[in-house]
Amino acid sequence: MKLRDMMLASMFAAVIAILGFLPALQIPFSPVPITAQTLGVMLTGAVLGAKRGALSLAIFLLLIVIGAPVLPGGRTGITVFMGPSGGFLLSWPIAAFAIGWFVDHTKGKISFWKLMLYTFIGGIVIVYLIGGAYMAFVTQIPLAKAYISCLIFIPGDVIKCILASLFASQLHKNSVMMRMASTQRKIRTSS
Ligand SMILES: O=C(O)CCCC[C@@H]1SC[C@@H]2NC(=O)N[C@@H]21
């Protein structure tokens, strides 16, 4: 991994930390809040790809471990991993990796709809599977009940999928156009 990759991964970790300044929404019947940071997780995977995306979220989790107040409300420290939302946090590098893996293995155009599917699988299905199971374990509730309680997050998380997919598809389109323009320039100067 190059220095540039490390810098990009750190930059996206910072973006997720900044999203943590938006207050989390505590909802009734759930010990886990609605947070804007999942938008950052989806965006990171969709823009950086698998390896850099996972690295970025690993950096973000490391910031929590060392006590940086990067979660909404300034929460931090290793103890947050032991709470009901701990599994959701631990799922984030896997989610970013999965979204990025799909992006890295996409043949042809990375369209909005493809990204919608990728962010849905990585940012919702994988996150809920891991986070829900962990929450059931920590709070000692039945697994089915934990998964049902995750459904409340779906409307907000689908909106985040849309936003991340819109942004990332535009970015991928621009980078393809820039690459084409630079190839054309090279051809012109060599002929
Ligand atoms: O701040 C924390 O302690 C982590 C919060 C985890 C929130 C989960 S992630 C998936 C789902 N979508 C949300 O907006 N909230 C939950």
Q: 30-63: per-residue pLDDT in tens?
A: 999 999 999 999 999 999 999 999 999 999 999 9
User: Is the CB–ligand 1 distance for residue 17 below 6 Å?
Assistant: no
State the closest ligand 1 atom to the C-alpha of 72, by its place in the atom list counted from 1. Answer: 1
User: Which of 29, 38, 44, 91 is the best mutation target for the ligand 1 pocket, counting ligand atoms within 8 Å of the beta carbon and taking the most?
Assistant: 38
**Residue 25 C-alpha to ligand 1 middle, in angstroms?**
9
Rg (CA), the chain: 18
User: Is the CB–ligand 1 distance for residue 157 below 6 Å?
Assistant: yes
Q: Give the pLDDT band (50/70/90) at residue 182.
A: confident
Class of CATH domain 3-182: mainly alpha
* Residue nearest ligand 1's atom 14 by CA: 34
Query: Helices marked H in 76-153 — which ranges?
Result: 86-104, 112-120, 127-139, 143-150
Residues 6 or more apart whose CB falls under 8 angstroms from that of 141 comprise 135
Domain limits, the chain: 3-182
Contact 37, 14 (CB under 8 A): no
| Model confidence, pTM | 0.93
